[in-house]
């Protein structure tokens, strides 16, 4: 039977707590309603960020003809380089296949908004969000007028959603994980990892 001692150590009845619990047992994270509401709010706010910003990824040229919109920001990686290997990739792979890249960006950010809003496969899409935010940062960090902390905060917000599996709070992940857990099939196992 689990008991809680006056020192706050929860262990087996009769067992001695470790000599130095402060060193070995990390302080548990809060899981109360305020924490859960905050986590769900951050997830929805991040989703709305992608939803609003998917609007200016406009097919079919994505701003190439006017050097505007998505094209302008991606070209920033060449005009104002941040990291030489990334600049090379943008110059020789992305800009030369820009229409394909534009559609990939549109679909990725559309999916980020929709799936983070619903809280479905949240860990997977939070990881995608980290990568997408990192790619955006590498494109525009040296562009005049950009506030570099915007991109550090974007990456940090997605890391938080990933680490806390935020879709399990007020999200579809939290509803479907018990069902996936009961299944031994590959899709259910993948869904467990993604959620």
Instruction: Give the interface with another protein as residue ranges (CB under 8 A).
Output: 47-48, 50-52, 54-55, 57-60, 106-107, 109-110, 113-120, 172, 175-176, 179, 182-183
DSSP secondary structure letters along 92-131: IIIGGGHHHHHHHHHHHHHHHHHHHHHTSSHHHHHHHHHH
Q: Residue count of the chain, please give it.
A: 195
Q: Residue 187 Cβ, how far from another protein at the closest point, in Å?
A: 13
Tell me whether residue 12 or residue 60 sits nearer to another protein (CB atom): 60
Closer to another protein by CB, 71 or 86: give it. Answer: 71
Of 5 and 183, the one with the shorter C-beta distance to another protein is 183
**C-beta of 54 vs 194, nearer to another protein:** 54
What sections of the chain are H helices per DSSP? 21-24, 33-53, 69-79, 84-89, 98-118, 122-140, 148-163, 172-182, 186-194
CB 172 within 8 A of CB 120: yes
């Amino acid at each position: 039977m689990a008991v809680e001692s006056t020192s706050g150590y929860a262990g087996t009845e009769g067992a001695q707590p470790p000599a130095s619990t402060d060193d070995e047992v990390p302080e548990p994270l809060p899981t109360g309603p305020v924490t859960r509401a905050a986590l769900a709010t951050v997830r929805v706010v991040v989703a709305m960020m992608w939803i609003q910003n998917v609007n200016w990824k406009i097919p079919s040229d994505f701003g190439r003809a006017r050097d505007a919109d998505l094209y302008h920001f991606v070209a920033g990686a060449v005009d104002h380089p941040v990291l030489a290997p990334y600049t090379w990739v943008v110059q020789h792979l992305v800009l030369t296949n820009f229409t394909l890249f534009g559609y990939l960006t549109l679909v990725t950010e559309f999916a980020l908004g929709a799936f983070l809003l619903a809280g479905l496969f949240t860990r997977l899409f939070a990881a995608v969000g980290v990568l997408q935010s990192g790619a955006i940062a590498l494109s525009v960090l040296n562009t005049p007028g950009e506030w570099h902390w915007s991109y550090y905060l974007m990456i940090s917000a997605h890391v938080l959603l990933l680490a806390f599996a935020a879709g399990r709070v007020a999200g579809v992940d939290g509803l479907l994980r018990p069902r996936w857990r009961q299944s031994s099939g590959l899709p259910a196992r993948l869904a467990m990892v993604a959620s």
